Amino acid sequence: MATAERVSPAVNLAAVNGRLSGASAEDRVKWAVEEFGGSLLLSSSFGAQAAVMLGLVTRIAPGIPVVFIDTGYLFPETYRFADELTERLKLNLKVYRPVESPAWLEARHGRLWEKGVEGLVAYNQIAKVEPMQRALRELGATAWLAGLRRAQAGSREDLEVVGFQDGRVKIHPIVDWSDHDVHRYLQSQRLPYHPLWEKGYVSIGDVHTSRPLTADLTPEQTRFFGLKRECGIHETDADGPGI
């Protein structure tokens, strides 16, 4: 059983990123599979463009654990989207949830997401970060694949193909893809966008902190009332080298 202190195998980031920076997304995934084998997993929010990574990775590594954090506050469309893709792609889905149910969380803490940045951070820690960290420990992960892209937000502009997060290796196979690249891949593989994409949602999380893109908003402002961009799952703590 892995522990919170487990450190992934040594990886020379400069050398690996030099090798993989010009590689295809498929070759980046293959490198991760060859390097980490059964201690590799994929995280997915089943968000707007989630089918890209789910399709790309499972074609190369069928049966890889796919971690999905169910906060209890996701859109009905998200749950149905997860069911659809799980069946279609034969996903080895691992659903993790907060220790506290939504009702218990609100009874104890109130509607944290309505309490400014500090409330959002506290809510995200309870509902998203802790379940993800628990998943990584329980599944024995030394490395994980995520679909973050530089074009998504200013907070992601400096991401490399491979980095570290909390003592584990983090691989971003499509980090340099544009929205056009994503669209082209989805079309070529006949994979769907999230159903809410057609209703203007470009970033999809919880019902209470996601809203459709309008003329007066930037894509980053459609989450968390524009107060922050990241939910915490992909943010590095102070215990190890950053991404």
pLDDT at 146 over 70: yes
pLDDT score recorded for residue 50: 94
Of the two residues 158 and 238, the one the predictor is more confident about is: 158
Residues 61-112 have pLDDT tens digits of: 999 999 999 999 999 999 999 999 999 999 999 999 999 999 999 999 999 9
Nearest in space to 47 (alpha carbons), one of 165, 148, 178, 180: 148
Note whether 204 and 45 are within 8 A (CB): yes
pLDDT at 31 over 60: yes
Note whether 115 and 104 are within 8 A (CB): no
Q: How confident is the model at residue 127 (pLDDT cuts 50, 70, 90)?
A: very high
Say what the alpha-carbon torsion angle 176, 148, 28, 56 is, to the nearest 10 degrees: -110
Write phi, then psi, for 12 (nearest 5 degrees).
-85, 100
pLDDT score recorded for residue 46: 96
Cα separation, 138 vs 134, in Å, equals: 6
- The DSSP symbol for 214 reads -
3-state class (DSSP) for residue 162 = strand
Cα separation, 234 vs 140, in Å, equals: 18
What percentage of the chain carries pLDDT values higher than 70? Answer: 86
Amino acid at 239: D
pLDDT score recorded for residue 74: 96
Q: How confident is the model at residue 209 (pLDDT cuts 50, 70, 90)?
A: confident
Say which of 135, 136, 159, 231 is annotated catalytic.
Answer: 231
Range list of H helices, the chain? 13-20, 25-36, 51-60, 76-89, 102-109, 116-124, 130-138, 179-189
pLDDT score recorded for residue 158: 73
Q: How confident is the model at residue 9 (pLDDT cuts 50, 70, 90)?
A: low
Q: How confident is the model at residue 238 (pLDDT cuts 50, 70, 90)?
A: very low
Nearest in space to 43 (alpha carbons), one of 64, 17, 29, 18: 64
Note whether 149 and 174 are within 8 A (CB): yes
Nearest in space to 193 (alpha carbons), one of 207, 206, 179: 179
What residues does each domain of the chain span? 13-226
- The sign of the torsion formed by the CA atoms of 80, 84, 86, 87 equals positive
Of the two residues 229 and 242, the one the predictor is more confident about is: 229
Note whether 140 and 2 are within 8 A (CB): yes
- Category of 61 on φ-ψ map: left (φ > 0), alpha (ψ -120 to 50) or beta: beta
pLDDT score recorded for residue 67: 97
What percentage of the chain carries pLDDT values higher than 90? Answer: 65
Half-sphere exposure of 134 (CA within 13 A, CB side): 15
CATH architecture for the domain at 13-226 = 3-Layer(aba) Sandwich (3.40)
Q: How confident is the model at residue 233 (pLDDT cuts 50, 70, 90)?
A: confident
Average pLDDT over the chain reads 87
CA 32 to chain centre: 16
Residues 164-208 have pLDDT tens digits of: 888 899 999 999 999 999 999 999 999 999 999 899 888 888 999
pLDDT score recorded for residue 217: 79
Whether 197 sits among the annotated catalytic residues: the reply is: no
